[in-house]
Every structure is written in C-alpha cells, then in structure tokens.
Amino acid sequence: MSEQQTFYITTPIYYPSGKFHIGTAYTTVASDAIARYKRLKGFDVRFLTGMDEHGQKIQEKAQESGMHPQDYVNEIAESAKKLWDTMDISYNDFIQTTEKRHVDAVEKIFQKFLNNGDIYIGEYEGLYCVPCESYYTETQLMEGKCPDCGRDVQKVNEESYFFNMKKYADRLLAYYEDNLEFIEPESRKNEMINNFIKPGLEDLSVSRTSFDWGIKVPGNPKHVIYVWVDALSNYITSLGYGSDNEELFNKYWPADVHVVGKDIVRFHTIYWPIFLMALELPLPKKIFAHGFIMMKDGKMSKSKGNVVYPEMLIERYGLDATRYFLLRELPFGQDGVFSPESFVERTNFDLANDLGNLLNRTVSMMNKYFDGEIPTENLQETEFDAALKSHAESVRIRYEESMEKMQFSVVLSEIWSLVSRTNKYIDETSPWVLAKDEADRNKLAAVMNNLAESLRHIAVLIQPFMTNAPKQIMEQLGLDDKLLAWDTIETFGNVIPRNIKVVEKGTPIFPRLDAEIEVAYIREQMQGSV
C-alpha cells in the first residue's frame, strides 16, 4: 500500500487577552475548512491550534484580573477549547506555550542559536509596543504612536540578546524567488520585500529583562526569551522537535501552510524562516495571510460597542450558518465588512431559500409522486439532464482549483451555482406537469433521481464548510453517510442504491429569519458586548 500523503496546517496561536471574537474564529474556521477538505481527499492531516501565553502583555492582563499568570492563561485556554469544540474545529493538537513540552524545546532552540553564533549580547535602546509585542524605531512610528495599532509605545533601555538577521537576508530573498507560492496573496510578499528586507533587516532583540513571564534564557535567567521567538517555535515544538521523540516532526514538517492574519505576516515570512534557517530546518511551504473582518465603523473594539462574538451567532442561528457566512462573505485574502444585514440576508437567501427549499421540494415531490422512494430504474432522460450533469461535473473541477488557492468564497459560490442550477432544473422539467401524464412516468423518475443525486453532490461538497447540513441532507434523503465520500462524486448518477426511502416530512434545515427582528437582535447584542 502506498503511504498516505501528509498535510500539516496551523492557525496562529492566539493571545489569551480576552474573549475571542469572530476575527479569531474566522482564521480558525478557514483553517478547519482546509483541514477537512484535505481529509476528504484522503490526506493524513495534522491541524494545530493553540495559545501564545507568555510576554509582558499577558503578565499585565493577569495582574489586572488579580490572578497568577498560569491560572489566568489556563482558564482562557479552557474557554478557547470549548469554543473550538462548539465550532466543530477538527484540530489534532492544541498547544499552550506554557506547557513543558514547548518550554523545554524552546530552551534548546535558543541554545542552538547561541552555539551557532546567531545571537550576541548587547544593549537595547528603543521603542516597544506591548499590545503588539513588537519593537520599532523612531522613524517607524506614526505620529509618535505604534504604526500597527496606534497605541503608545514605551521607551526600553536594557541589556538584551540580539539575533543577527542580516546574515540571512540574501538567503531569504532567494527563497522567496525560488518558491513563488511561499507568501500569498502576492501583494503581501512585495510589501515584505520593499518595506522590510530591501531597506536592510535590523538585528532583532530576542530577550527582555524588565519582566519575567516567559521562558528563561538558558544560563542567564535574568533574561526571558522574546515572545515571538517563543511563539513561532510552537509550530515545531508541538511536533516534538527537540524532544526524545521526533516521530511527528519527521512525519509532518515542513508545514504545508501556516494560515495567519495580515497583521502578523512579517513575523511569519521574515523572522520565522530566518529562525528555521538558523536551525538548519526546512521552511514551511506556504504562509497564507488573510484579510480582516471589519465593522462599518472600522475595527472591532469593545469601546466602540461593535464586537461580534461567535457564540451569539451560533446560539441563535446555528453553527452552519455562522461558518458559512464567515467563509462566503469575505474574499479570503482581502478585508471584508460584517454587518447584521448581510448576515441575515445570506442566511435567508443562500441557506433558507436556495438550499433549504431545494431539499424540501425534492423530499416532498418524492413523497407525492413515488411514495417516498427514490426511483433508480426505468429512468428516461429528459432534454435537461445533460446540462445539469455537466454543470455538477464542472463545479467539482472548479471547486478543487479554488480550494487549493483557499478562495473559499469562490468555492462556495461555485457550490451555490449548482444549488441554483438544480432549482432551475426543477422549473425546466416541471415535475408537476410530467406527473399528469402516465407516458411521462419514466421521465419523472429520472428527474427525481437527478434531484436526489444533485443534492447528494452538494452535501459532499459542503462538508469542509458545514458540519451538520451534510448529514441532515443525507438523513432526509434516506442515504448512508458513506455516500459522502469524495470519490462518490467523481461521476454523476448511478450511485444511489435501490429501495431508498426519503423521510416522510422534511423539516427545514435552515429556517427563514425575520430580517427586521434579527438585524435588531444582532445589533443589540453587539452593543451589549461592551
């Protein structure tokens, strides 16, 4: 038997600085969609997420809430896991950077940098933004504030270890050139080259002495290791790199893709590859940087009262509608706006009207014309069948192309083109007319079979995005979940077995929302989130 191909995908590890909003959920759901897709295609997938628990910001947050930092981060890690379980995130591992497996390995990584002469000790004088855990020079500031988040920066003057970044700049550029798909979208790559690498990489301060919530520098415990050196290493420490058992590391590294938001591209496309080069390890195959979910009045922030939490949407509208919206509404890679109106519209139009109705109509016609049984024999093609079949076939091909590029909104619009095409097929074939003439009985049978088959294709295709609807569709059609396997949609038709009975009465899988009431509800919840 040939060995199963592996696929390693990661999300950023998030800061435990508060409750997760839909932005964090967005990255995680997108990564989950890829993980599910690759599993569906037969890959041996490893999907990592976790928490970035060290650093000055977290120490200060813990102090504010009167807790020991370890208790503080553990509590948030538990609530994060609960949220990911609620959202059906199919992660294989959840790493916390305060775990021993990580701490031990990061100490070894730092020691290796020291041994190889990549790190030297010096004096750091400069500016630091605590919320971004990031260093800046005077000229990088925007009106005296942090260029990334607009907040005040602190003057830092302390002894520090420095990483010699310059040494690797040429190799990094060569890697970009040889691996054209390393950074996506491409615009981010140009930004990195023109804004950071070409002007000359500065040596990076990789330790701090003014607080102690972090991993100690081996042999010099006055220093804690810079939180980004600590954090980025999670992608390999979680695989056992530097431990007694590197089996997972050997199997899954290099990562196929690190999914990140546009705010942390620099760390992933400059620092991380350079650290890996210093460790003499292969670099990840791709860093995909997506855009941000914005609100009509700008960034989500508690003070503006415009924060949307995933739990609220899931409780009221269900997980599938929430996951669908996140991946359908925003073109992955670009910023997009969340509005209560667009959420309600998508749910009503795409889910309740288009998909929900198609299932309902199909099930009720099957009951009306064939006593609930999906006809599989004596099928006489209608003039409209070939177009439906070829559409389903072409959707599958375009779906695969766009999925590889992580163009989720394109993939979903492709699937919905099959939903619309199938609804149109009902209008074209007018089963209620065929049902009037016994001579058209076999044509009616073919139409019913094609409708069930088309819905089955849709159920297979939506699996990376929705976790309940595929099973609900199969259940209403009376079909076994085995028919959700990818290879069952390689052809259209001849898959549904004989003597299958659909349910007698299908319940709507996506109830229609009262737009006015629900828009007001979401808005109220956003304001209540202050």
Give the binding site for ligand ME8 (CB under 6 A).
12-15, 23-24, 26-27, 52, 231-232, 234, 260-261, 263-264, 292-293, 300
Give 236 or 415: the residue with its C-beta nearer to ligand ME8.
Answer: 236
How many angstroms separate the CA atoms of 492 and 421, rounded? 14
| 266 neighbors 135 (Cβ within 8 angstroms) | no
What is the secondary structure of 366-378 as a DSSP string?
HHHHHTTBPP-SS
Kind of pairing, strands 154-163 and 119-129? antiparallel
CA distances from 496 to 395, 457, 488, 509 (A): 20, 11, 10, 22
Q: How far is the CB of 234 from ligand ME8 (least distance, A)?
A: 6
Nearer to ligand ME8, 133 or 414 (CB): 133
Phi/psi of residue 197, nearest 5 degrees: -80, -50
Query: Which one, 26 or 110, has the nearer CB to ligand ME8?
Result: 26
Alpha helical stretches, state H, 378-499? 385-404, 408-429, 431-434, 441-461, 469-477
Which one, 292 or 486, has the nearer CB to ligand ME8? 292
Q: Which is nearer to ligand ME8, 29 or 500 (CB)?
A: 29
Question: Minimum CB separation from ligand ME8 for residue 176, in Å?
Answer: 20
Q: What tokens were used for 505?
A: 């009465």
Nearer Cβ to ligand ME8, position 4 or 70?
70
CB atoms within 10 A of CB 92: 15
How far, in Å, CA of 76 to CA of 81, rounded?
A: 9
CB of 495 to ligand ME8, least distance (A): 39
Q: Which pair of structure tokens corresponds to residue 42?
A: 């037969």
Work out how close the CB of 149 gets to ligand ME8 at its nearest, in angstroms, rounded to a whole number. Answer: 10
* DSSP letters for 25-58: HHHHHHHHHHHHHHHHTT-EEEEEEEE---SHHH
Closest separation between CB of residue 385 and ligand ME8, Å?
43
Please tell me what DSSP assigns to residue 4: P
Question: CB of 206: closest distance to ligand ME8 in angstroms?
Answer: 15
Comparison of 290 and 391: residue with beta carbon closer to ligand ME8: 290
Query: CB-wise, 27 or 237, nearer to ligand ME8?
Result: 27
Beta strands in 235-394 (DSSP E): 257-261, 287-290, 293-295, 336-338
**What would you measure as the largest C-alpha separation in the chain, in angstroms?**
91
- Least Å from the CB of residue 329 to ligand ME8: 12
Q: Which is nearer to ligand ME8, 264 or 270 (CB)?
A: 264
Find the shortest distance in angstroms from Cβ 264 to ligand ME8. Answer: 5
Q: Are 359 and 455 in contact (CB under 8 A)?
A: yes
> What letter represents residue 305's amino acid?
G
Establish whether the linkage from the previous residue to 431 is cis, with ω within 30° of 0.
no
Take residue 440 and report the two structure tokens written for it. 């058209």
- Minimum Å gap between C-beta 400 and ligand ME8 is 25
Q: DSSP character for 162? A: E
**Considering beta carbons, is residue 224 or 300 the nearer one to ligand ME8?**
300
Nearest approach, Cβ of residue 35 and ligand ME8 (Å):
16
Q: How far is CA 263 from the centre of its chain?
A: 15
